[in-house]
Each structure stands twice: as structure tokens, then as C-alpha cells.
Amino acid sequence: MIPPKPPSRPDRVSLWQYARLFRQDILSAQPARLYRAWMAEFRTAFFRSYMINQPELVQTILKDRPDDFPKSDRISEGLRPLLGQSVFLTNGEVWKRQRRIIDPAFEGGRLREVFPAMWAAADNCVERLHEHTGQAIEIEQETSHAAADVIFRTLFSIPIETEIARRVFEEFRTYQRTQPILNIAAFVPLPAWMPRPFRKETRAAAARIRSLITTLTEERMGQIEAGTAPDDLATKIMTTPDPDTGARFSKEEMVDQVAIFFLAGHETSASALAWALYLMALYPDWQEKIATEAQALERCDFALMSKLPVTRDVFRETLRLYPPVPMMVREATQTEAFRDRRIRRGSQLVLSPWHLHRHTQLWDDPDAFDPGRWHTPNGKERARDAYMPFSAGARVCTGAGFAMVEGGLLLARILKDFRITAVDGRTPVPVAHLTVRAKHGIWLRLERR
């Protein structure tokens, strides 16, 4: 059985058709040849873009010369109303300064410190799922709730049931429904002075989210000043000075960072966990292996995560087949020569974990679900040069380790208590909005073990 994959478009379509398809879903808007091509060129009236699948070129862009290939403003424009100048969107010295302040909060030792908050969110998740035993439920709603709970508990030491946390979560669901993955600026070069056209409801939802985050940030600043702040991620980030300048984040800067922590930490984790649970419904043998392994989770002890190697392999394989962020775009700052092609300055370079992870010339049986592949020669090699669910190089996601612990813990805790089966007639179709989700949701049935 092969896990579901979106259909591919014909090789040749007009720019108008491509823009329309891209706006709806960037995965099915791509031709099938990208799963076997090392490099592909796309031309528009305003710029050229190139999808890069050759591992050596991906390494050049992300690892060897990242400063020469900054993030593209064309794609970032659509997220500005919510994320402002967050670390996800900035480049150059601004980005480097932000990472110098943020990275210490996510170092290895901090994972042990925030683990009890993750465990409490997992308790909350399992308790809620018990209310749906025997029912067919849309699991993405549940994983979104659980992932948001993890973020609030680890970042601000509050559960999602807290009024302000609940309001942020609800507003974000509105934002998800109204935010297209691409703004018109992705296709048409607008001058800097021209206002960007955003949907009214998208801008309004972003403003409400930022207002709520501002309230949380101001409250925490007051607690820090009074010496009563809890020792969580928000406190760590807000009290860490830039080692080069000694300056800390201002309130406005912190609001930008909290916005991306919530978007990246909640949206991506929810996507990955939902697909992992669906895959376990398709492959009950692997589900039972995790359920057996999960018996080791007898208490809240970070050291017990080392006893979940199968869970980790399953989650890694889920991220290969369904990377939450399916594409990322960089911009060439100078003329380049890639595969005997002249890449002009300003060209857009598309790096696609979705296609790289399923590339027919790189992976053995690329569309198959096989957690055991990570222990084969092919899997080990590809893990080094063709696997990047959290990006790679200098801009690798600072929360990658956090996400792997969170995902493994939630997956194991759920399967420890529940046996999961798929719902007939409800095969999910992957589509990309803010992350890779299912077109009509992921429907599963849970039974108590």
C-alpha cells in the first residue's frame, strides 16, 4: 500500500493557469517530472525560477554559501501581516542577530527543562481523545489543539485553556482559512512604496493575533522586571542579550518572534503528528511496535525518550513523506552557473523537501512508507544529503530538536492508549496551505487498548 500523494499537473500550462493552481495548492500545481529532475526552469514575464533537486547544489545554497542566497521576499510578503520582521523572514545581519538571541533557548539542555510542560500537554491530549473513543474524528483538529497547547505551556507556562491562549488559537484558525500561500507579489514585482494587497479578513485576523501576543509579551516583561517570571522559553529569550552588542529584543521584536514560534511550532507539529497517526492506521504492524515501545513511558522523565527508537524512525519517515513545509525559496544575489545554466541575479531558487524526499533517482522506493530505511545504506546516505524537513545549514530550524521530542512523545502517548484505524471512504489528499495538510481533513477512529 502506497500512502496518498497529490496528483501532478501536465508538463505545460500557461502562467495564468500555473498561478491559479499554485494559489490553490503548490503540490498539485507541479509537474510529475520534478520527482526525477535534478533542476527545472520556470519562466514568467517578470522573473525566472529554478527548482533545485541536485544534492550538491542544495548544499551550495543552504550550507556552503547561505549569505549569497537569502530568503526571497516574494514568498515572504504573504506572511508579513502576521510575522512582521520575525526570524523566519529576515536576512543578513538582522537575521544573524535574531538567531544569536533565540538559539540559546533551544539548546539541548533546555529540552530537558521544558519536557514536563510537553508531558502535561500530552496528558491533556490523551484525556481529550478518550472522550471520542469509538467515534470517527477529524484528527488534524486534535493535533492542532495538542501542538498549540505544547507551545503555550513551554513558551509562556500557560495551558491552552487559559482565555488568552484559547483566543490566539481560535484566531489562528481563522487566519489559516483566509491566508493563501502566495501573495500576488510572488508573481508580479511590486515597487516598495505600493501597499500589498491582502484579503481583508487575513489582515484583520493577523492584527487580532498580534494584539493578543502583545498582551502576553507586556505581561511577561512586567513579571521579568518584578522578578516573578517563570523560567520558560519566553523568559529565556526576553532576558538573553545579543552577545555581540548586549542589546535585548524590544517589545515589538519579541511580538514578531512569538508569532513565528506559534506558527512554526504549532502549525508544523500539528501537520506532522496528524500524518503520522494516519500512517499508523495504514500500517498496523508499525502501530503495534510503537504501542509496545510506549510502555516505557511510565512517568515524566526525559531520559525515557531514548527508549523510543521505533517511534523516532516512524516520525522521521513521516517527515520525509509529508514534510510540513514543502518548499522554500531563496534568491540569487549574483549571477551563477548551475548545471551549465546561467542563473541571473534575482532569480528565484526553489528548494522542495517534498520533491527531494521523493526523488526517484535518490531514494529506494521513494513513495513507500518504510521507517526501516533509516538503517539501510541508501537511507543513511540520503539522510545526509537529501533530507531536510527543517531546512539545513545555517538556517536550519532552531526548534528542530524540540519538534522531534514533541512529535515522538505525543505519537507514543496516543498509541499507548489507543488503537487507530482509518475511516472507509475518507482517504486524505495532501495539499499545501501554510503547511502540508489534508484537503478534507484526516479522519480516524480511535479505540481504547
Q: What is the full DSSP assignment across 286-352? A: HHHHHHHHGGG--SS-GGGGGG-HHHHHHHHHHHHHS-SS--EEEE-SS-EEETTEEE-TT-EEEE-
The string of pLDDT tens digits covering residues 99-141 is 999 999 998 778 999 999 999 999 999 999 999 999 999 999 9
**Predicted confidence band of residue 248 (pLDDT cuts 50, 70, 90):** very high
* Residue 396 predicted with pLDDT over 80: yes
The string of pLDDT tens digits covering residues 184-210 is 444 444 444 444 445 677 788 889 999
- The C-alpha cell that represents 212 in the structure block: 493578543
Q: Where are the domains of the chain?
A: 15-448
**SS3 call for 437:** strand
**Predicted confidence band of residue 279 (pLDDT cuts 50, 70, 90):** very high
**SS3 call for 419:** strand
What pLDDT score does 184 carry? Answer: 42
- The C-alpha cell that represents 183 in the structure block: 501573495
102-123 burial, b at 16+ Cβ within 10 Å, e below that, comes to beebbeeebbeebbebbbbbbe
Q: Among 82-86, 331-335, 350-354, which stretch is predicted with the lowest mean pLDDT? A: 82-86
Query: pTM of the prediction?
Result: 0.93
DSSP 60: I
**Predicted confidence band of residue 274 (pLDDT cuts 50, 70, 90):** very high
What pLDDT score does 212 carry? Answer: 95
The reply to whether CATH 1.10.630.10 applies to domain 15-448 is yes
Of 69-73, 179-183, 211-215, give the range with the top mean pLDDT: 211-215
Mean pLDDT rounded to a whole number for the chain: 90
